[in-house]
Amino acid sequence: MSFERVLEFLHVNSLTELWWVVVGLAGQLMFSMRFIVQWISSERARKSVMPVAFWYFSIAGGLILLSYAIYRKDPVFILGQATGLFIYLRNLYLIYAEKRAA
């Protein structure tokens, strides 16, 4: 498959746009990793578990996807990722506040 066909398949017109598609895919991979981490942790514990790594992968994926959404100028995607980031950060804050109090 030629490079031009790859660009056409991905609906991009330049190397810059191709780079941003790669960034978007990396963000989606980070976002997907959080579910894999959660699943493995739950299987090991034999109950539903939400490990701290879930929130770190959520933040990493959210930041990368927010960057991609800003580049693409997609207000729906921007709003969704920005809201999610706030929630992920708040959950980490609550986890660490609980540990400090204990």
Domain segments of the chain as ranges: 14-101
Burial of 53 (0-12, 13-18, 19+ CB in 10 A): middle
What are the pLDDT digits (tens) for 31-73? 889 889 999 999 999 988 899 999 999 999 999 999 999 999 9
pTM: 0.82
CA distances from 23 to 5, 30, 101 (A): 20, 11, 38
